[in-house]
C-alpha cells in the first residue's frame, strides 16, 4: 500500500476551480478553464448541476494497469503514491490509454514529438515533503493530502458521522484494486460522472495470469516440437531404408 493519498470530498467542493488553476500553474500550462481531461488539463472540475461538482484526475492506482501494460516501463508507481511517466522511455504506443480503467491518460495528438499527459500527483513536490498543489490550493478542504491510512480512517469517520449526506463506500478503496486518490461521494451527486464498470480487483493480474505461465509453456512446447521433428524424420528414414531393402531384394 502506498504511503500518501489525496482525499476528495465531493460534498465540500464549491466548484471554485482553485485546484485546476494551481495544477496548471504547477505544470507550467497556460491558465484556462478545463472542459474535460486533456493534454493541457490534468485535472478537471466537472459541474454536475445543483451546486454539485466532481473532480477528475489520475487515480494513482495501487497496482496501476497503465504501468503494467507499458512495454518499456515508462509509467511507474512510486511507493510514495504517484504513478509517473518518463519521456525518455515512452515509445508512444498508447497501450496505457487503452488499458486504464479510469480513462485517464491523454495524448498530444498534434505534436510530432508527442507526450503522454496525466496528473503526476505532483511527484516532485512529494519528494520535497510538500503536499500536492491542488490540495494546498483548495480553500474548503474538499481536496486534502496525507497518509493513505489516515485519510481512509478520516473518510470512514465522515461517512459514519453523516450517513445521510455520503454514499456508504469510499471510492478508491476497492476500485481497480485500490487507488491513491480517494473520493467521498455525495448522495445527491449521483454516480454518472464516474467511469463505468471499473472492476473491484486489480486488472494486471488478468494478463499476468497468462504471462507467468510462459516460462513453463516454452520448454514443454519446444521439446514437443523437437520431438515431433525427430520422430517423423525417423519414420521417413526407416521408410526409406525399407524401400531400399526391398529394391535390393528385387
Partner 1 sequence: MSRRLGFWTGFFVLLMMLFSIVIVRRFTGGLGAVSNLNDEMPWGLWIGFDLLSGVALAAGGFTITAIVYLLHLERYRPIVRPALLTAFLGYLMVIAALLVDLGRPWNIWHPLIFWNPHSVMFEVGWCVMLYTTVLFLEFLPLVFERFRIHRALLFWSRYLTPPLVIAGVLLSTLHQSSLGTLYVIVPEKLHPLWYSPILPLLFFVSAIALGLAMTNVESFLSLRAFGKRLEPEILRGLGRATAVTLLLYLTLRFEDLYVRGVLGQAFVLDTASIFFLLEVGLGAILPMAMLFTRQVRRRPLALLGAQLLVVLGLIFQRMNVAVTAFQLGTGASYTPDWQEFVVSIGLVAIGFAAFALAVRLLPVFPEGPVRHPEPTDPFSALAP
238 binds partner 1 (CB under 8 A): no
Q: Which is nearer to ligand SF4, 130 or 153 (CB)?
A: 130
Q: Which of residues 176-235 bind partner 1 (CB under 8 A)?
A: 196-199, 203-204, 206-208, 210-211, 214, 218, 221-222, 225-226, 228-229, 232-233, 235
Q: Which is nearer to partner 1, 206 or 244 (CB)?
A: 206
The least distance separating partner 1 from the CB of residue 221, rounded to whole angstroms, comes to 6
First CA to last CA across the chain, in angstroms?
82
* Residue whose C-alpha is closest to residue 174's, from 18, 48, 1: 1
User: Which one of residues 22, 34, 37, 45 is an interface residue with ligand SF4 (CB under 6 A)?
Assistant: 22
* Residue whose C-alpha is closest to residue 85's, from 49, 126, 124: 124
Interface size with ligand SF4, residues (CB under 6 A): 41
H or E stretch including 143?
strand 143-147
Q: Buried (b) or exposed (e) across 25-63, using 16+ Cβ within 10 A?
A: ebbeeeeeebeebebebbbbbbebeeebbbbbbbbbbbb
Q: Which residues bind partner 1 (CB under 8 A)?
A: 37-38, 65, 68-74, 89-95, 97-99, 101, 103, 105-114, 116, 196-199, 203-204, 206-208, 210-211, 214, 218, 221-222, 225-226, 228-229, 232-233, 235-236
Amino acid at each position: 500500500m502506498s504511503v500518501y493519498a489525496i482525499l476528495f470530498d465531493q460534498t465540500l467542493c464549491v466548484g471554485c476551480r482553485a485546484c485546476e488553476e494551481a495544477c496548471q500553474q504547477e505544470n507550467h500550462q497556460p491558465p484556462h478553464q478545463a472542459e474535460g481531461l486533456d493534454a493541457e488539463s490534468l485535472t478537471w472540475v466537472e459541474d454536475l448541476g445543483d451546486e454539485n461538482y466532481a473532480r477528475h484526475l489520475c487515480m494513482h492506482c495501487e497496482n496501476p494497469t497503465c504501468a503494467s501494460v507499458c512495454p518499456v516501463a515508462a509509467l511507474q508507481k512510486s511507493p510514495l503514491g504517484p504513478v509517473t511517466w518518463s519521456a525518455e522511455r515512452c515509445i508512444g504506443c498508447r497501450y496505457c490509454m487503452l488499458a486504464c480503467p479510469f480513462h485517464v491518460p491523454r495524448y498530444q495528438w498534434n505534436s510530432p514529438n508527442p507526450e503522454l499527459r496525466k496528473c503526476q500527483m505532483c511527484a516532485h513536490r512529494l519528494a520535497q515533503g510538500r503536499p500536492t498543489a491542488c490540495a494546498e490550493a483548495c480553500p474548503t478542504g474538499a481536496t486534502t493530502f496525507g497518509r493513505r491510512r489516515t485519510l481512509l480512517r478520516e473518510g470512514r469517520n465522515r461517512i459514519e458521522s453523516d450517513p445521510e449526506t455520503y454514499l456508504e463506500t469510499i471510492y478508491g478503496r476497492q476500485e481497480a484494486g485500490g487507488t491513491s486518490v480517494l473520493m467521498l461521494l455525495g448522495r445527491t451527486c449521483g454516480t454518472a460522472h464516474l467511469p463505468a464498470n471499473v472492476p473491484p480487483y486489480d486488472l494486471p493480474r488478468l494478463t499476468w495470469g497468462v504471462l507467468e505461465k510462459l516460462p513453463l509453456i516454452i520448454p514443454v512446447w519446444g521439446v514437443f516440437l523437437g520431438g515431433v521433428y525427430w520422430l517423423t524424420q525417423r519414420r521417413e528414414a526407416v521408410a526409406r531404408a525399407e524401400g531400399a531393402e526391398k529394391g535390393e531384394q528385387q
